[in-house]
Amino acid sequence: ICVRGNSMRFQDKVVIVTGAAGGIGTAIAQRFSSEGAQVVVTDVNAAGVEATAAAIRATGGRARGFASDISGAAGCKSVIADVLANEGRIDVLCNNAGINRRGPLLSLTAEDWDLSFAVNIDAMFHLCQAALPSMIAAGGGVIVNTASQWGLYPAPNHIAYNVTKAAVASFTQNLARDYAPQKIRVNAVCPVEIHTPMLEAGVKRSGRTIADLDRLVPFGRIGQPAEVAALVAFLASDEAAFMCGSLVEITGAQAVA
């Protein structure tokens, strides 16, 4: 990945990226590594975690994997405890893990609903609650959450995903307001449809193609994970020093279909 300008903005910083076994999470981990960070890659998918970390190391970056199921409090706390024990601090926490249980309300099971909240929003609560004390003690830190344009403007037939991502947006703004005095900056990215394995799976189920999605975007195509990763890195950098509590859309000017 070629990074222009301040190419080592995260030299020797410790960055945690959740949901980093593929898609946007992998791109985020790669971006931070390319700018000098020590990246801790975590996901429930152990093989994917190690693949991401190994790929980063193969290009000269510094990364290690830590597989954990963050759908429960214990898994979240284990991630933070492991990083503090091994790296000694946390400079940036990227809460990127998420799942999408599609369908209107009557098509969903209670398990779909509960798991959506557990992964998409409850995990942020537990991870941030565990990480904040060390950040405050260090004099500051950065949290970047992955929300969604659909959390701001609901798409049809995705009620569980939309509601949890709306909660991520509110959580971001509340956390920022409460901890800005301790120099904790909290922001969220709100992507529209991004070309990830999760999106491809949904497209195949619907009978549509990526080209069909491209035609819906005024910019002419859907987004790429690396483009979201670039925005996450900017929000985590000192260049965004006064951004706190922001919900930043990255959509190619696409409205919700």
Please say if 161 is a catalytic residue: yes
41 SS3 class? strand
- As a whole number of angstroms, the distance between CA 105 and CA 29 comes to 34
Closest C-alpha to 173, from 153, 151, 206, 196: 151
- What's the chain's length in residues? 257
The count of other CB atoms within 10 Å of the CB of residue 4 is 5
Are residues 78 and 62 in contact, defined by beta-carbon separation less than 8 angstroms?
Answer: no
Q: Identify the burial level of 11 via C-beta atoms within 10 angstroms of its C-beta, where 0-12 means exposed, 13-18 middle and 19 or more buried.
A: exposed
212 SS3 class? helix
- Catalytic hit among 66, 150, 161, 179: 161
The four Cα atoms 135, 137, 139, 141 give a dihedral, to 10 degrees, of 0
- As a whole number of angstroms, the distance between CA 78 and CA 44 comes to 12
DSSP-derived secondary structure letter, 132: H
- As a whole number of angstroms, the distance between CA 136 and CA 21 comes to 29
Q: Identify the burial level of 235 via C-beta atoms within 10 angstroms of its C-beta, where 0-12 means exposed, 13-18 middle and 19 or more buried.
A: buried
Residue with tokens 């800005």: 180
Catalytic residues: 161
